[in-house]
Amino acid sequence: MSTDKPLSAVEHIKGASRFLRGTIEGSLADPVTGAVTEEDRQLLKFHGIYQQDDRDIRHERAEQKLEPDYIFMVRIRLPGGILTPAQWLAVDGIAQRYAGGSVRLTTRQSIQLHYVPKRNVKDAMRAIGEAGLSTIAACGDVSRNVVVTPLPEQSALHRIAYDKALEVVEALTPKTGAYREIWRGAPAGEPGENEEPLYGPVYLPRKFKVGFVVPPLNDIDIFAQDLGFIAITRSKQIVGYNVAVGGGLGMTHGDPKTYPRLATTIAFCTPEQVVAVAEHIVGIQRDHGDRSDRSHARFKYTVDDRGVDWIKAELDRRLGVVLEPPKPFELTHTGDRLGWIEGEDGRMHLTLFVPSGRVVDRDGQRFRSGINAIARVHEGEFRVTANQNLIVAGVAKEKVAEIDRIVAEHGLDFYASLKPLRRNAMSCVAFPTCGLAMAESERYLPEFLAKLEPILEKHGLGDEDILLRITGCPNGCARPYLAEIALVGRAPGRYALFLGGGLTGERLNELYAPNLGEAEILATLDQLLGDYAKDRKPGEPFGDFLHRTGVVGAAATA
């Protein structure tokens, strides 16, 4: 371990947990409270479950001297975002029966079910298992859901990258028997001496995120990952992967020791080396990450504290070979391309826009009913994108008209007329379920868009690709620090304004103003967008313009 400082409280909880067993069963069965013990709250995360409370009624309940309205969020991990139509319908049924009714697609291609009362947690988990799905390691200090570019048109390359990602998933999934015992009814056993050959008894110092991308798309934001594999292709084959390390976005307002960081591309490895690279990078973080201070425990800080050269040398040493330098590659854009795309195998793929990933029936747009109706006739698979959208993948050409009819009947064909600002925008969950939210995000995005769109139109920019992301706090769940415009929550109705990210996910934005209300944000953007409309070069993106004109970047601080 890298430090002599005292271990953080969570390290003690993990160490005493007997490989994540804790007293979870007892906590869930305790009828006196809707909550679990603090130790079990921490351990449940490794099982994909967060204890939350409904923040809309927190104060009211406190005034009535009631405990908070405890609820649980269950995160189903889906490597590469893939699930079958039958699994989709099963998840919808679980959301209706045991949770608050809505399915939430996430920025890591997973599915979250909110509002699960404690009494329903076991039933929900059993039903998830019966659907052939799992929640293990969807949260916690382990490798999280592995994201893979969904890449509909290049079906062969997608399959190769996806299969490789599944090998990594297999290698990095915790092996503890606790999950099977608690949720799948396996006989309770005494923990083995070495149930976690890779992680060991205290797992990683912090969460760890792995992604696979196939250039030129960067629809998973590869440089936000702790460990990124960038496919290098030659004549429709993946000849290997560049290895990028140390990405991560979380920070704390006003604390310069915490910061977003883009992953650094350090090497090239062959397809056969990928799993070993993943295991050894995880091993480096396990052995050298900071276990005393959780705000300094992500791999990005290990990379910066030790230096990129040290990480590369340590990786080579553990592998027993010197990896080659990275190969050239080019990324052209982030985000999803909505609508139909034909794959090289002749199959059709429809990317549906799902605002903030929330699958509900609302007004004229009936996402839940519409996607369920598609699932009943669809013979391919669904892919959740890392931008909270859903791909109906692998549709036979003769089925396209039928899917289109269902889409139109449920009011989901509006994607075709969306302006780029709305199409690209992302928000995190925030209130009322996220315990860390400082300001609204998902519930505020539509309102903010309705105010920003007329400003864009006024300046003749309605059809420009502008990338906006909003989060309710600086943790960065909607990857705001990669956007051209980002609102990062500070307090109810107040946001830090970050500007100047790029459209390919290769440049972080910068803090422009630390604490603004809506009127100030709109006035600032009105001014800057007006300047952009007047003075931009042909084809120049907004973020690039802000850098060139010194609004942000080196010129701004010089």
**Distance between CA atoms of residues 202 and 271, nearest Å:** 30
Among 228, 355, 472, 541, binds ligand SF4 (CB under 6 A): 472
The three-class DSSP label of residue 221 is coil
Instruction: Note whether 383 binds ligand SRM by CB under 6 A.
Output: no
Which residue is associated with the tokens 């029966």?
97
Check if the beta carbon of residue 74 is closer than 8 Å to that of residue 113. Answer: yes
Residue 231 — φ and ψ, nearest 5°? -65, 135
Check if the beta carbon of residue 381 is closer than 8 Å to that of residue 150. Answer: no
Instruction: Note whether 27 binds ligand SF4 by CB under 6 A.
Output: no
* Least distance between ligand SRM and beta carbon 398 (Å): 34
**Distance between CA atoms of residues 550 and 500, nearest Å:** 10
Tell which residue, 354, 406, 356, has the closest CA to residue 378.
406
Q: What is the dihedral of CA 501, 507, 512, 518, to 10 degrees?
A: 30
* Least distance between ligand SF4 and beta carbon 472 (Å): 3
Contact string (CB under 6 A) for ligand SF4, positions 343-372, x = contact: ------------------------------
For residue 75, the partner it binds in ligand SF4, ligand SRM, none, with Cβ less than 5 to 8 A by kind, is ligand SRM
* Least distance between ligand SRM and beta carbon 70 (Å): 13
The reply to whether 269 belongs to the active site is no
Instruction: Note whether 430 binds ligand SF4 by CB under 6 A.
Output: yes
5: Cα within 13 Å, side-chain hemisphere: 12
Check if the beta carbon of residue 281 is closer than 8 Å to that of residue 315. Answer: yes
Which residue is associated with the tokens 């009535």?
64
Among 111, 148, 172, 477, binds ligand SF4 (CB under 6 A): 477
The reply to whether 473 belongs to the active site is yes
* Least distance between ligand SF4 and beta carbon 447 (Å): 17
Instruction: Note whether 436 binds ligand SRM by CB under 6 A.
Output: yes
Instruction: Note whether 501 binds ligand SRM by CB under 6 A.
Output: no
Among 477, 482, 496, 529, binds ligand SRM (CB under 6 A): 477
Among the options 164, 473, 479, 507, which is catalytic? 473
For residue 248, the partner it binds in ligand SF4, ligand SRM, none, with Cβ less than 5 to 8 A by kind, is ligand SRM
* Least distance between ligand SF4 and beta carbon 541 (Å): 24
Residue 156 — φ and ψ, nearest 5°? -65, -45
Residue 237: Cβ within 10 Å count: 13
Instruction: Note whether 265 binds ligand SF4 by CB under 6 A.
Output: no
How would you class 384 by CB atoms within 10 Å of its CB: exposed for 0-12, middle for 13-18, buried for 19 or more?
A: buried
32: its two tokens? 């006196």
With respect to ligand SRM, which residue has the nearer C-beta, 242 or 475?
475
Check if the beta carbon of residue 378 is closer than 8 Å to that of residue 429. Answer: no
Residues tagged active-site: 75, 144, 207, 209, 428, 434, 473, 477
Which residues of the chain form contacts with ligand SRM (CB under 6 A)? 50, 52, 73, 75, 106-108, 110, 112, 138, 144-145, 207, 209, 224, 248-250, 298, 357, 388, 428-429, 433-436, 475-479
Binding residues (CB under 6 A) for ligand SF4: these are 428-430, 434, 436-437, 441, 471-473, 475-477
